[in-house]
Amino acid sequence: MSPPALKTAAPTISSSLSSSHSRSQTTSRSRLDQVASHIDPTARMASTTAFNADVVPQAPEDALFGLMAAYRRDTDPKKVDLGIGAYRDNNAKPWVLPVVKKADELLRKDPDLNHEYLPIAGLAAFTSASQKLILGDESPAILEKRATSVQTISGTGALHLGALFLSKFYHTKEPRTVYFSDPTWPNHFQVFSNVHLPYKTYPYFKKETKALDFDGMISTLEGAEPGSIIVLHACAHNPTGVDPTQDQWKKIADVIREKKHFPFFDTAYQGFASGDLAKDGWAIRYFVEQGFELCIAQSYAKNFGLYGERAGCFHFVTASAADAESTVQRVASQLAILQRSEISNPPAYGARIAATVLNDKELFADWEADLKTMSGRIIDMRKALRSKLEELGTPGTWNHITDQIGMFSYTGLSEKQVLKLREDSHVYMTKNGRISMAGLNTNNVEYFAKAVDKAVRETE
């Protein structure tokens, strides 16, 4: 037998040789990596990321923001921007509402104003006033304490908070499905799919008539899985500008009740659409009066011009029942948990502006006057555009321009015509023919009408 010392010596030598060989290989690889990185500096970096192109593909550019960028690059003095979803005055300039200026002045002079955190649910003076604005002062939901509200980051934040709440707590016997109008605001799809709620669409806009496809909408809602979440535009439908009549809303409510669907209202244009706050909020108030349990996403971007301040509110209304108040309290507690994990506390400035106006009778009256100014100018532009197209004898019918309401209009122009307008006349709108009426004014409406006339005639 070999001595014990020799038994351990051999492996030690072998291990040493192996270790030396391994260090040599590592050194060689390191030198090769250095040479490779000198030849192609990206080669070393590409091999170390966990987020390569297969895992994180390049996302497409947002179509609307891409359109805005193209407009800014255009140097033609006659260019027209009909893509932007924001109000512009008759000189195509952003308009700060006079009442917002008054509120801003009051806030700046307030000696007690500070920049401390708001509560998780937001500024109470804002959320309570928002509830009354959308539901009505004498709403049974408010009187019976079956509504709760949370301040959000504008309407998008309200949609997200509501979608997240439903994803976590709304359960049905059938697979949960969200239904959007076809077409709808594109961000709806992303907001709800991000919280893993599958979606489908219901017919809404009929190209042949350039009006509401009411029969198609009702048929789809009737055939939808019981308990589906139905997203509805309260007024000034984005992007078509086509709204149901009050009788049609009643029929929609009947079907949703019969199928036990869950209504989720998106309201971004109350007061901005018609100039009448009650009229623009009618559909929501009707559903509440009918005893529906529902959600509302409310934005103050358009009707206060607080685009960048991101002032919004999410409302949950439960059905009338003996335990309604208890239900609301439990829902409110869970909404606070979700809000805390998402944004912790909402931003204060926009909410303070809106609350100052909503809670003061004189300022509220001033705001209503400002709403009439904005909505009135939009309505005037609709009338002017239709009139000029009909004077030119532009092929087709154009009554839908004035039949529609709100900021947007589905013109019926084809993608080919839209691109021709951009190329020939430097007019920018989305490819589906949607225009922002706020981009028209007395200085460019005739130019736009003639450009449309030319594009339609040359693409017939």
Distance CA 387, CA 433 (A): 19
Among candidate residues 177, 346, 187, the one with its CA nearest the CA of residue 266: 187
CB 175 within 8 A of CB 181: no
**Coil, helix or strand for 387?**
helix
As a whole number of Å, the end-to-end CA separation of the chain is: 103
Q: Tokens standing for 423?
A: 């190329």
Choose the catalytic residue: 81, 213, 243, 266.
266
Determine whether 282 is an active site residue.
Answer: no
Distance CA 335, CA 313 (A): 12
- Amino acid type, 391: E
Q: Tokens standing for 17?
A: 């040789």
Distance CA 222, CA 202 (A): 10
CB 300 within 8 A of CB 99: no
Determine whether 266 is an active site residue.
Answer: yes
Among candidate residues 339, 310, 283, the one with its CA nearest the CA of residue 148: 339
Distance CA 31, CA 33 (A): 5
Choose the catalytic residue: 95, 185, 249, 367.
185
State how beta strands 178-182 and 199-203 pair: parallel
For the chain, helix, strand, coil in percent to 5 are 50, 10, 35
CA distances from 204 to 69, 201, 240 (A): 30, 9, 9
Determine whether 249 is an active site residue.
Answer: no
Distance CA 427, CA 78 (A): 9
Choose the catalytic residue: 210, 302, 388, 420.
302
Side-chain half-sphere CA neighbours of 51 within 13 A:
3
CB 317 within 8 A of CB 290: no
Catalytic residues: 185, 266, 302
